[in-house]
Amino acid sequence: MGSRRTFSLPQSPSEAACLWRNTLHRTNRLCNFSRNHGTTFGGNPLACALGCELLSIVSEPAFLEKVTRSGETIRAKLWALAKEFPVIRDVRGNGLLIGVEMAVDPKAIIPLCKEKGLLLIKAEHNTVRFMPPLIVEQADIDAALAIFEDVMKIIAKEQHK
């Protein structure tokens, strides 16, 4: 599924020291970090540096355009599935936060998707929520929608019994 940029904390002390050394000056300049900040859970320079870097990446127009295109692609494919499977009532959302309203309670749909490798959650009454990462690749979108389509076939068969 390809290489991806991640935003997790460093996994080793040497990795943390390197990141700290390379970003401390930039953090102080960009985030206006104050060395006398006193809180238990917030304000550490490493977290601030990562937050600043994340904001600079997700604010880039090319990044935002890719997120928009990916969301449009997913919604278009879900609408195509809705024409084939009447159990899908509505598709809505913005960017990569997408809700699929179902004609049935999705309590059977979500575990079937999970079993096949697609993690979804229930939102509202009969809505399944798709929340892929902002860095999702087209191959991952295709795989997720193929799983969802397979599950819709199973649900359709069960409804016709």
pLDDT in tens, 94-137: 999 999 999 998 988 999 999 999 999 998 889 999 999 999 99
Tens digits of residue pLDDT in 13-72: 555 555 555 555 555 555 555 555 555 556 678 888 888 888 899 899 999 999 999 999
Q: b/e for 17-55, b at 16 or more Cβ within 10 A?
A: eebeeebeeebeebbebeeeeeeeeeeebeebbbebbee
pTM: 0.70
- Show the domains of the chain with their CATH numbers: 13-59 (no CATH), 63-159 (3.90.1150.10)
